[in-house]
Copies of this chain bind each other. A is one copy, B any other.
Amino acid sequence: MKKSFPLSKVYGLLETGPVALITTSRKGRPDVMTQSWHTMMEFEPPLVGCVIAAPSLSFDNLKATKECVINVPTRELAAKVVKCGSTSGRKVDKFQAFGLTAVPASRVAAPLIAECYASLECKLVDARMAGKYNFFVLEVIAAWVDSSRKDPRTLHHRGFGRFMVAGPSIKLPSKMK
């Protein structure tokens, strides 16, 4: 079960580079895309930069609604992650086709994905680089995490359906935030 998660800790979820399922919603119709090109840009409020390719429905939805949710799936969702990355929301209702459960978010119209380990509600704050690079700056305004999972087996894309699965954690004495 996902619970509310402090915004100040969100960076620790994304800086490991997990593949994401990004949801948008427009005119009551939700969509989801698979995405690996994102980076933290600020700790708090958490800013996330991400590339969403221009011909996609997600690009159009994000530009129009200025909202999305970054969902973080784990190992058992790998086949659905690939399916969401290989089809267009213009042709398929991916939630229905691939058995993903859309749950209402608290502050945006785009849905959380129930099956995902973490879900980050975002609003678009800077689209200056959308034209040249398809690059958007998002602010995370609400976060939901299943904190009972200490070492979530997130997926990390290496290209052409090959993924590294998150291994164990190590802890070193560090002054780094």
Residues of chain A at the chain B interface (Cβ within 8 Å): 9, 11-12, 15-18, 34, 36-42, 47, 49-51, 75, 78-79, 82, 85-86, 128-129, 133-135, 137, 151, 153-154, 156-177
- The list of the 10 closest CB pairs from A to B, nearest first, reads A17-B17, A161-B174, A167-B167, A16-B156, A39-B39, A12-B159, A86-B175, A85-B176, A15-B36, A161-B172
CB neighbours of A37 from chain B (8 A): 15, 39-41
Q: How far is the CB of A88 from chain B (nearest CB, A)?
A: 11
CB pair B172 A78 closer than 8 Å: yes
**Cα-based distance from A114 to B134 in the complex (angstroms):** 34
Minimum Cβ distance to chain B for residue A111 (Å) = 22
Known contacts A15-B36, A16-B156; is-contact A133 B164 (Cβ 8 Å):
no
Q: How far is the CA of A12 from the CA of B17 in the complex (A)?
A: 12
CB-CB < 8 A to A34: which residues of B? 176
A36 pairs with B40, CB closer than 8 A: yes
Which residue of B has the minimal Cβ distance to A155? B170
Other contacts beyond A161-B172, A163-B172: 19, CB < 8 A:
A12-B157, A15-B36, A16-B36, A16-B158, A37-B39, A39-B39, A40-B51, A41-B135, A49-B49, A79-B172, A133-B137, A156-B156, A160-B176, A162-B169, A162-B171, A164-B168, A165-B169, A166-B167, A167-B168
The residues of B that contact A39 with a CB separation of less than 8 Å are: 37-39, 49-51
- Say whether A15 contacts B156, CB under 8 Å: yes
Does the CB pair B157–A15 fall under 8 Å?
yes
Do A161 and B176 touch across chains, with their CB atoms under 8 A apart? yes
